[in-house]
Amino acid sequence: YAEAGGQVADQGELKVMDSEGNVAATVAVHDVQVYAGYVLHLGTVTSGEVKDADSVVPAVDYERRKKVVPNHTITHVLNHALRQVLGGDVAQKGSLVNDDKLRFDFSHNKALTPKQLSEVERLVQESIGEALPVFSEVLPLQEAQQISGLQAVFGEVYPDPVRVISVGHDINDIRNDLENEQWATRSIEFCGGQHLSNTADAECFALVEETAVAKGVRRIVAVTRDSARQAAAIGCELADAASALGGMTASDLEDRTAELRKELEEKGPLISAIKRTEVRAGLEASQKKIAAEKKKVLDATIAAGIGHMEAEVKAAVARGDSFVVLDVKLGVDSKAVKKATKILNKEAKTTAILCLSEEDPGSGGKLLCFAVVPETMQKAGLAANEWVNAALGECGGRGGGKSDAAQGQAPSSAKISAARATAEEVAKGVLVGSP
C-alpha cells in the first residue's frame, strides 16, 4: 500500500528469488509512494545484490498493517461522531493514520468541552461495540456523489470510478435508494485506504488529545486496541487517585498532590482526554484545599505574631526605650504589614520600631523589614526609610517609604543577624543620648 489519504505506507521486504527458488537478495522497504502513476518502493538492500529486471516477491509486514487498519476505519467513525456532537458543519481538514495512533483535523472554532469529548468517545466506542460490518465498493463518481450523508474532503479531486467505504450500511442497499436519509446515520466516505471488515476488530477506543492547530481548526489524537485499553486503565488509575485526594488529611495532601501531578505529566499523553480532565479537576480541588489550609495556618501565625509584636512594643514603651529592633513572625505578607504598622503608629508614640520577619524562619528565604519612627525620633535624625535600607542592605535588599514609615524586602534572610545588628547600630548612633 502506497501512502495516500492520510494513511501511511506499508513496510516490509522485497525478496529477489534465484532460479532454484531461494532468496538471492533482500530489500527492506521503509516507504511506498506514488509518482506520476508509478508506485515507487523506497528501501535498503540488506543482503545480496539487486539488478535491473530481477523478479521480486513482496513480503508485507502484516503485523504492522494490522495496527494501522483499525486506526483508519475508526477515523471514519470519529469523523461521523464529531458531526453528530458538533453539527453538520464540521469538515475534515486533514488526517494521519499510522500504527501508533490516528490524528484527525477538523473545522471548529473552539475547544470541545469535557462533555462533548466524552460524548464523541462514547459514540465511537458504541460503534465498536455494535460490531458494524464495513462495506467497500467502487462506484461511478456521479452515482456515489448522490448518496445521502456521504462525506468527502472539500477541494479533493476524486477518481471516476471512486471507492466508497460504508460503516454499517450495505452499499448494495444504498445503491437501491441513494437519497434515503437513514444512510446519514452512519459513516459513508470516499476512501482508497485499507479498512477493517467489522468495527469490532478495533476492540477499544480512547481519545487522548484535543488541541488547536490553526484558526478554526481543531485536532484530535486517538488510539485503538491495546493502546486504548492502556489509556483507559491508566486514566482510571489516576482518576481514582485524584478522587482519593478529597479524603486525605492536610498533612499528607500536599505531598500526594505533588506526586500525582508528576504522574500526570509523565503519563498524561497516554491517557484518555476525559480522564485527564477529571484528574486535573481533582488536582485543582486539592490545590485549593491546600491553599485554604495554608492560609488558615498563616492567618493564625500572623495573628499570633502581631499579638507578640504588640506586647513587645508596649513593654518597650513602658521601659522608655528610644528604639527597639524586633524579630516578628508575619512571613512576608503585605496585608499583615499594614495591620502591624497601624498598631505601631497607635502604640509607639515615643519609641522607634524596626521589625524583621522571615518568609520561612531558618530556610534562608525572603526577608521582610518595616519600621515606624515617631516625629520626635525623626527630629533627632532617625529616618524610617534610611533605617530600613541600612538593615536590608546586609541581605542584598532595599526598601521604600518616608522618614515616618518604610518597608522593603531582601531576597535572602541568611544574614538576618547582620541586618539586626546594623539596625541596632544605626539607631544607637542617632538616638542614644537624644532627649
Which segment, 50-59, 76-85, 299-308, is predicted with the most confidence on average? 76-85
- The gap between the terminal CA atoms of the chain, to the nearest Å, is 99
Residue 348 reports pLDDT greater than 70: yes
Q: What is the pLDDT of residue 435?
A: 43
Query: DSSP label at 180?
Result: -
How are beta strands 323-327 and 352-358 bridged, if at all? Answer: parallel
How are beta strands 92-97 and 352-358 bridged, if at all? Answer: unpaired
Find the length of the chain. 435
Condensed to tens digits (0 to 9), the pLDDT of residues 141-192 reads 999 999 999 988 767 788 899 999 999 999 999 999 999 999 999 999 999 9
Q: Return the exposure string of 179-210: e unless at least 16 CB atoms fall within 10 Å of the residue's CB, then b.
A: eeeebbebbbbbbbbbbbeebebbebbbbbbb
∠ at Cα 32 (221, 150), nearest 5°? 50
Condensed to tens digits (0 to 9), the pLDDT of residues 277-291 reads 888 888 888 888 888
Query: DSSP label at 342?
Result: H
Burial of 270 from C-beta contacts in 10 A (0-12 / 13-18 / 19+): middle
Percent of the residues in the chain that have a pLDDT greater than 90, as a whole number: 72
- Strands (E) across 99-257 are located at 102-107, 134-139, 162-167, 188-190, 205-214, 217-224
Condensed to tens digits (0 to 9), the pLDDT of residues 290-311 reads 888 888 888 898 899 999 999 9
Q: Which residue in 329, 324, 359 sits closest to 344, CA to CA?
A: 324
How far, in Å, CA of 425 to CA of 428, rounded?
A: 5
What is the DSSP code string of 47-84? ES---TT--EEEEE-HHHHHHHHHHHHHHHHHHHHHHH
How far, in Å, CA of 388 to CA of 380, rounded?
A: 17
Condensed to tens digits (0 to 9), the pLDDT of residues 217-271 reads 999 999 999 999 999 988 888 888 888 888 887 778 888 888 888 888 888 777 8
Burial of 251 from C-beta contacts in 10 A (0-12 / 13-18 / 19+): exposed
Q: What is the pLDDT of residue 433?
A: 53
| 189 and 70 Cβ atoms separated by less than 8 Å | no
Q: Which residue in 160, 161, 185, 182 sits closest to 173, CA to CA?
A: 182
What is the DSSP code string of 358-389? ESSTTTT--EEEEEE--HHHHHTT--HHHHHH
| 190 and 152 Cβ atoms separated by less than 8 Å | yes
| 264 and 276 Cβ atoms separated by less than 8 Å | yes
Which residues, listed in sequence order, are joined to residue 47 by a DSSP beta bridge? 26
Q: Which residues contact 56 (CB under 8 A, 6 or more apart)?
A: 14, 15, 16, 17, 27, 50
Give pTM, 2 decimals.
0.72
Between 416-431 and 384-393, two packed helices, what is the crossing angle to 10 degrees? 140
How far, in Å, CA of 428 to CA of 16, rounded?
A: 99
What are all long-range contacts of 375-381, with beta carbons under 8 Å and residues at least 24 apart? Answer: 375/404, 376/350, 377/322, 377/323, 377/351, 377/352, 377/431, 377/434, 378/403, 378/404, 380/430, 380/431, 380/434, 380/435, 381/430, 381/431, 381/434
In the chain, where are the structural domains located? 12-60, 320-431
Alpha helices in 268-333 (DSSP H): 273-319
pLDDT band at 313, cuts 50/70/90?
Answer: very high
Query: DSSP label at 4?
Result: B
The H or E element containing residue 400 is strand 398-401
Between 334-347 and 273-319, two packed helices, what is the crossing angle to 10 degrees? 10
Amino acid letter, 267 = K
Q: What is the pLDDT of residue 285?
A: 87
Architecture of domain 320-431: Roll (3.10)
The conformational region for residue 277 under phi > 0 = left, psi -120 to 50 = alpha, else beta, is alpha
